[in-house]
Structure 1
Amino acid sequence: MAASGGAAMKRVLALVAVLVLASGCGVRPSGVIPGENAPSGPPNGNIGHPATVYFVLNGNVVPVVRTGVGDVAADRVRALERGPDEDERAGGYTTELPPSFEPIAIGVSDAEIGVNVRELSPNAVAQIICTVLAAGGGVSGTITLSGGGQKLPPRACTR
């Protein structure tokens, strides 16, 4: 009789477990709740999506499309700070920016860097201006560049 009582107890426990699982966590069913489109693409910003930065090729400031650069202007200016990658250098791309010009504050209409902006070449200034403007969706508009206690008048992307 003990064997059949144990089997009955197992059945009761199994039935209780099924009922507990079937009852859920108290969330009541609802209709379809509309929402926005689900996120797509890789996480962490612009990884895999194109971003335009500006380097120098044959003495001219030109756009270079890169992947793996964040969406905001400061991320793109940091890409300038790192300079052309190996493939870009092999293709003749250079930079006229100092090795470590340290972007400090990059905004929509202004950019502050950690070097005296009056000591930068015209191409170096254009690299920064064009890259910041491209991060905003185009190359129109102007940027006021400052650094090292100096400030340049607002400049457009001239390439």
Structure 2
Amino acid sequence: MKRLLTLIAVLALTAGCGVRPSGVITGENAPSGPPNGNLGSTATVYFVLNGNVAPVVRNGVGDVAADRVRVLERGPDEDERAGGYTTELPPSFEPIAIGVSDAEIGVNVRELSPNAISQIVCTVLAAGGGGASGTITLSGGGQTLHPQACGR
């Protein structure tokens, strides 16, 4: 009798739970993209290539100029360095306040090379800064430069 009850219990468990087989059920495409929705957009920043300021397109960068200047602060990534891109911004470079027509950084702007100035100015202008004049007033270290256009 014990064997019979065990056999009935095993058969009941292996019989399934009433779900009937069906054909393939199609649905929508699987979700794609970053798990938190949006990690930023595509942005143009400027590094130095062969002695000249050159645009680099980056993914996952915020939409505002300050986000793009922070990319400059970190410098070229590994792939960009392998492609010959460098930066002329000093290691102590630090964006303090980046606006639409002005940018303040944590170093004396009079000590920056022309390429370093262009890296910042071109990057801010590429983010839609500069207003109608297409220039940025760059300041830092107690110094202010006259309005700068992208001098690439």
Q: Which TM-score band applies after superposition, normalised by the shorter structure? A: 0.7 to 0.9
Q: Partner of 2:77 in structure 1?
A: 85
Q: Spell out structure 1 runs of 4+ moving beyond 2 A.
A: 41-47, 137-140
Give 3-state SS (helix, strand or coil) of 1:68's partner: strand
Q: Partner of 2:91 in structure 1?
A: 99
Q: Deviations over 1:46-76 (max 9, x none)?
A: 62x3100000000000000001111110010
TM-score, normalising length: structure 2:
0.72
- In 1, Cα distance between equivalents of 2:77 and 2:95: 19
Are residues 1:127 and 2:119 paired? yes
5+ long unaligned stretches in structure 1: 1-40
Higher strand share: 2
Distance 1:44 1:132, change over 3 A: farther
Q: Deviations over 1:118-149 (max 9, x none)?
A: 00000000000000000117997000000000
- In 1, Cα distance between equivalents of 2:93 and 2:72: 9
Q: How does 1:1-150 map to 2 (within 5 A)?
A: 47=40, 49-136=41-128, 141-150=134-143
Q: What amino acid sits opposite 1:141 in the alignment?
A: G
Q: What amino acid sits opposite 1:60 in the alignment?
A: N
Q: What amino acid sits opposite 1:144 in the alignment?
A: T
Give 3-state SS (helix, strand or coil) of 1:50's partner: strand
5+ long unaligned stretches in structure 2: 1-32
What RMSD, in angstroms, separates the aligned Cα atoms of the two structures?
A: 2.1
Q: What amino acid sits opposite 1:61 in the alignment?
A: V
Are residues 1:152 and 2:116 paired? no
- In 2, Cα distance between equivalents of 1:45 and 1:145: 31
- In 1, Cα distance between equivalents of 2:129 and 2:96: 21
